[in-house]
Structure 1
Amino acid sequence: MSEKTERKRGRAWGVAVWCAMITAVLGGLPWAASGRLPERLATHWGAGSGGPDGSMPLWAAAFFPALIWLVLALLIVALGRWREAATSDPVMRGRSVAGLFSGGALLVGAQASIVRVNLDHTDWRQADSVSLWAVGTLGVAAMAGLAEWTVARRGGAAASPVVASGPSMEIPPGERFVWLSRTTNPWLHWIGALAGLVALAAAPVAVSGLVNVPWAVVAPFATVSVAAFSCASAQARVTEKGLSVAFGPLGWPVRHWPAQHIESARAEDRTPAQVGGWGYRLSGLGTTVMLRSGECLVVHPRRGREFAVSVDDAERGAALLNALSAQHGR
C-alpha cells in the first residue's frame, strides 16, 4: 500500500471516529442528565431580555442536534471531495476537515451549554442565561477549525517537494533547491488521539455540570495528548539557508541550523535502546528525535552537541548539507 493510500485511509478513519463521537455526545448528553432536567428544555433565548423564549421536549433536544450534525458532516465531506477533485488542491480538503472540527466543537459546546443552564430546574422558563457559554463555545470552535486548517495547509505545501539529486553533489552557484523528509510514529499518534478523546469527552461533561469532573482530571489527558502529538512526527528540510527540523502536526516548534554553522552531516542507524527511548531524547550521543529504529540524519554543528532525527533518505540530506558546508568553507 502506498503512502498516499495510507494517508487517505487514516484520514477517513479519523473523520469517521470524529463524526461518531460528536453524534454520541450530542444525542447522549441530555439523556444522561434527564434525571436533573425539566420535561422541556430551554433551547432559545431572546436577544432583548436575555431570558429563554423557546423550548423543546428532551427527546427533541437530543435528537435534532445529532441529526443536524450528521447532515452537516455529510455535506461538508461531500463538498470537500468535490472541490478537491475539481481543483486538485489539497488545501480544499483542509478546509472541509477544518469545517468538521469547528462545526463539531460548536454543536457540542452549544449542547453542553443548554444542558448546563437547564440543570436542576423544574421549568424551562427558569433556565439561566447562556450568553457566557455561547462566547466560550464560539472561541473553542474557531480555534479548533484554525488549528486543523493550518495542519492541512502545511501537509499540502509539503506534498510535492523538489529533491536534490545524488548522495554527493556539486551545487551550482545561485541554484535554489529544497530537500524534505518526514517521519511519523503511529503509536505516539494513537496515544495522543486516545488521550485527546478522553479530554474531549470529559470537557463537555464538566461544562454541562452533569458530573462533577474537576478540570485537574481533564488537564492531564489534554497535556498528554499535546505532548504525544508534538513528538509523534518530525520533518527535516534542507535549503540553501541550512537545516530546519519541525515537530508535530502544526510544524512547530522548529529547530534551525544555518549552513555556515554545520561542520558535517552523516546518515547513521540508531535504535531506541541506544538513545534511551522514543521521542525527544538526550543521551551521550547528543540529542536524538527517535521516531523509529534505523536511518537517522545526524548533524555535527561547529558548536554544541550532535543532533539526530529519524528520517528517510538521510544520506541524501547529509550529502546536501556537506556540500553547503563546503561552499561556506571555501
Structure 2
Amino acid sequence: MNRATPRLRALAALPFVLVLAAHLPAFALWYDRLPDPLATHFGPDGGGRADGFTGRAGYALVSTALILGVAVGWNLFVRRNVLWGAWATAGFTGTLLVLILRDNLDAADAAEVVSPLANLTLAAAGAALLALAGLALTRLVPEEEPAAGPGAADGPRLPLGPSEVAGWSRVSASRPLTVLAVLALATVPVTLLLAPWPAAWLALLGLVIGVPGLALARVRVTVDRRGLTVRPALVPRPRVRVPLAEVTGATVRDVDPVSEFGGWGYRVWPQRTGVVLRSGEALVVRRDSGREFAVTVSDAHTAAALLNTLVERRGRL
C-alpha cells in the first residue's frame, strides 16, 4: 500500500505551522485592543453584523484547536497530488482568523462589529496564494510507486473445465453509510417545510449526500465472462465495469479505507480506484494499464479465483 512519506507529512503540516506563527503573535500584539468577548460569527442579515461571540481566552483556545485539528486531518489523508489542498485550507483558515481579529480591533461593543463580505474574497486570495506554494513544493515529494499488483500467474484459481461456464455474485453493504444517507434524505422535507426560505437551500445538500450515499450503501459485485461489474443493488445504473480484456490478474487482501483510499465510498487515486464500504477483505483487480481496482466484499477469494481462471482461459483462445 502507498502511505504518506515523512517528507510529505512535514510539507502538509508546514502551512498550518506558518498560520499559527502569524495568528498567535497577532492575537498577543492586539490583545489589549480587542473587546472581551470578541465577535466571532457574522450573519448574512445586517450586512455581516456580529451575531456570535467568544471570550478572548476562549477564542485563542478554539482557533488554535481548529488549526491543529485541520492539520492533523490533512496529515491523515494527504497524498502527493493533493498537497496543494492542505496549503489552500491553511491559507483560507488563517486569513479568516486574522481578519476576525482586525475587525474586532478597538471595538467598544462587539455587537457592533461588522465583517464585510470582502473578507471572503481576501480569504480566497490567501488560499489561492498558498495553494500555488503547495503546488510548487509537490516536486520535493517523490512520485508514489505503484503497489505490486496481482497477476494471473500467482493468483488463486477456480477449477473449471474447458466447456464449463460460471459466474459469481455477492452483495456488499455498509450500515453506517445507509444510516447517513437515510438521515440526509429525511432532512429534505423537514428543511423545506420548516426552515425559512434562504435556509431551505440546505435541502439540496441533503439530496447531494443522500442520493449517492444510498446508491453506494448496498452494491452488487459480479464476476462473469464479461469481467467485473459493481453496481447499486437496487438499480442497474450507475455501474463500474472492468472488462475481462483489461484484467491481468486478481487477488484478495485486507484494505484500510483511510490509509489506502482516503475514506469510504467510491474512491479515485492516481494508481487505484475502488468501491470501499468497510475495512477488511477486498477483491483487488489489476488492469493492463497498471492501475488497481478494489471492492470490499465477502468471499472475495472465490471471485478472484474465478476471474484469474477466466483471464487464463481467454489467453489460450
Q: TM-score, normalised by structure 2?
A: 0.46
Q: Which has the higher contact order (CA 8 A, sep 6+)?
A: 2
Q: TM-score, normalised by structure 1?
A: 0.45
